[in-house]
Structure 1
């Protein structure tokens, strides 16, 4: 009888260990499966976010490079055409009329540039909810949280040098949009150029209606202008007369250009 009781106790302990090992295996297996599922979900989303961010950063750099190339048409009378490329990477490029509306005022009166007010047109790269736009010679980025300047246009206020310089490119292009995974070539061609020089000017202002108010506001402030907003889309930038450093001289250049692709 003693032997029989001893054998029963031994079998019971063996069964307990088997059950414990099985439960441990199930728990470890469940933990591994859960971890893999969690890492897959979070990891893939993180990778997708990184790829989207990298795609936009590459588009910013490409658009900035394109702007430098295009702006040679605006800066030099002897250059009337420039070519550049942009990798779309599943994004879309759109061109068209309209866009930011600009009015240049000298001593409170409209300047003599015949295109005044000026429509800067549209040349944008879009990916998801983000937009990178060539605006007047500069580059801006806009998204759900607002807009920011990537490259400033040539709008300088220099009271200490008694000068203000306003150089703008207005895109004249057919309303068109294209989406692709490949690169795309663009050609900017000068259609018209107007230049105006004025002396004895004490106040220069630029009034604009734009979808990129914050970006333009940042650009003006970094270039020496004082800005005020009247609405969420209206902005006024002023290069004011300083008693010690009057503005005096103003140079205005507006180039109207076609963009083909």
Structure 2
């Protein structure tokens, strides 16, 4: 004789409730995981995108440096480069001042010099006086050196060479865009000075003064700075005062168009 089945029905009800609870638990885990990925993962992806964009801009400025240096050397009259700012700003500024003194207290060269600057998300990448720089949170590094020379080894005549491009912009001098920007550079002539005596170079109001100081120190120049801030002034001296010493200063005027 088969008895009543209430116990089996209870087990089926318990199983149904367990299935519903399991579904709710799994669904909650999925929703929570998606939310965590969205909140934290998207931020990480955004940071990675900004980092890669700034790295691409740094590589573009290294290429720009080569092109501008070609204009200094007379290897061409016009160079065209491309960069995609992706919302960053590109500008030609003339805030930096260059002074060169050779053997006397009277400057043989004293003028504001133009620089090309890219700014995006706290990063600044610049071309200034023949060198390329990158600055993050106020800490600057030189990513490509200028064509400067200081030779006082005693194995030959003392020699100092300063070759740089002075950028001058045509309208517009500042651009912010998300599409590809063409930078056209045209060499419009060079001023060359040859002299002798101790060579002193002063770069004022540069946003990369700390990187300039490290560069001059590594290349045999004697340096001094009034402050330790990354922005400011730096003075470098090359003791080119021996027999047959010579100093060359070549400033090339480069007209820059942001297209």
TM-score (norm 2): 0.83
Report the alpha carbon displacement of residue 14 of structure 1 after superposing the two structures with TM.
4.5
Matching of residue 206 in structure 1 with residue 214 in structure 2 = no
**Residue 139 of structure 1 contacts residue 151 of structure 1 at CA under 8 Å; is this kept in 2?**
yes
Task: Name the structure 2 match of 1:132.
Answer: 125
What is the alpha-carbon distance in structure 1 between the residues aligned to residue 146 and residue 224 of structure 2?
19
Residue pairs, 1:45-124, within 5 angstroms: 45-76=43-74, 79-96=76-93, 98-107=94-103, 109-112=105-108, 116-124=109-117
Task: Name the structure 2 match of 1:177.
Answer: 174
Give the aligned length: 249
Report the alpha carbon displacement of residue 92 of structure 1 after superposing the two structures with TM.
2.5
1:145-177 Cα deviation digits (max 9, x unpaired): 422211111122222252121111111224621
**Residue 159 of structure 1 contacts residue 247 of structure 1 at CA under 8 Å; is this kept in 2?**
no
Distance 1:9 1:226, change over 3 A: farther
Task: Name the structure 2 match of 1:223.
Answer: 219
**Residue 160 of structure 2 contacts residue 240 of structure 2 at CA under 8 Å; is this kept in 1?**
no
Work out which of the residue numbers 26, 29, 34 in structure 2 matches 1:28: 26
Distance 1:90 1:226, change over 3 A: same
Distance 1:195 1:33, change over 3 A: same
**Residue 108 of structure 1 contacts residue 204 of structure 1 at CA under 8 Å; is this kept in 2?**
no
**Residue 132 of structure 1 contacts residue 140 of structure 1 at CA under 8 Å; is this kept in 2?**
yes
Distance 1:246 1:213, change over 3 A: farther
Unaligned runs of 5+ in 1: none
Distance 1:71 1:12, change over 3 A: same
Task: Name the structure 2 match of 1:239.
Answer: 238
What is the alpha-carbon distance in structure 1 between the residues aligned to residue 220 and residue 23 of structure 2?
70
More off after superposition, 119-128 vs 20-29? 20-29
Unaligned runs of 5+ in 2: none
